Amino acid sequence: MAESTFVRARRPEHKQQRRDAILAAARELAIESGVRNVSLGSVAATVGLAKSNVVRYFGTREEIYLELATECWREWADEVTRRLGDGADVIDTLAETLADRPLFCDLLGHTSTTLEHNASVPAAAEFKRGVLGVVAALGSVVAERLELTEQEGIELVGLATVLASMLYPAANPPPVLVEVYAQNPDLAAACLPFASTLKRGLAALAAGLPTLR
């Protein structure tokens, strides 16, 4: 909808439709160019609104991506739970489902470094509450499968996402480093394979947690 024809959504369902459209645009743009490269203006243009109209629904660009990150957390947890219910290996499932979600990994890397730095207190609190709820529920499932305590399961799930947030940019280097690795094979070891490295790290954590009781 062009700015000149903008009509403020008044009914709750219309407001939700507008929020959903903004989130969908932000998701699409981040998949195309990475979270760091998406501006509030580009989201607004994709939806067909002025920036001033977008901030009626989300106070900042960062709040858009915090809500999108919450969606990604829930989608990931749902898929992990589904696969574990079918008898899949816990470590493989945690790592492979993260590898299948580059946008989620990208968002994980930006959450504490940028997204939480420009959000309102209510938006940040809602995000934290949502994520902690997901981690607690999934941690309980993981704990049961691996014979860990519930707290250990929560730790393993949390650490899986922490490792993913650090491994993802290393495994997906920018063009300059791609060229560096191509010209300097001795440096290419710095480009770690994402899934296999994550699996090894999570396996070590899962084995080590009970020894710390």
pLDDT, residue 13, reads: 76
Work out the percent of the chain whose per-residue pLDDT is above 90.
91
Average confidence (pLDDT) over 136-160: 97
Q: Quote the pTM value.
A: 0.90
**Quick one: CA dihedral 121, 122, 123, 129, positive or negative?**
positive
State mean pLDDT over 181-192: 93
| Residue 49, token pair as written in the block | 């609104």
Cα–Cα distance, 70 to 59 (Å, whole number):
16
pLDDT per position as a tens digit, 70-83: 999 999 999 999 99
pLDDT of residue 15: 83
Locus of tokens 């949502």: 130
Rounded to whole angstroms, the Cα distance separating 122 from 112 reads: 16
